[in-house]
Amino acid sequence: MKYNKKGSIFAWFMVTVAVFTIAILYMVLMQPIIAIQQATNATLDDPNYAASYNKVIVVWKYWPIVMLLGLIIVGIVYSLKKEPYTGYE
């Protein structure tokens, strides 16, 4: 059995494209999110709303890291796949 070099290159190319897409999306959406944070921080009176709001902000800060780790794992798994895939070996 040998490793599929074309499949490995394609997998890492797609991971790279996805990383850049996530980075651009995050940078573009960061400015409106910061504006919304600044506008709503002064009006947080209800503690229940404040807790939910803080969770949303934490998720917004860390979702790119989770996505990047997932993409790296996917890239590694696809690049280690042997060809031809015949099932159990």
Mean pLDDT, 10 residues at a time, the chain of 89 residues: 69 92 92 82 72 83 91 87 61
Please report the pLDDT score of residue 39 as a whole number: 80
48 in any annotated domain: yes
- Is residue 75 within 8 A of residue 11, CB to CB? The reply is yes
Please report the pLDDT score of residue 41 as a whole number: 72
Please report the pLDDT score of residue 67 as a whole number: 92
Please report the pLDDT score of residue 88 as a whole number: 55
Q: How far apart are CA 15 and CA 32, in angstroms?
A: 27
Please report the pLDDT score of residue 19 as a whole number: 93
Q: How far apart are CA 16 and CA 25, in angstroms?
A: 14
Count the domains in the chain: 1
Maximum alpha-carbon separation in the chain: 64
Looking at residue 73, its amino acid is I
88 in any annotated domain: no
> Which range marks the domain in which residue 77 is found?
2-81
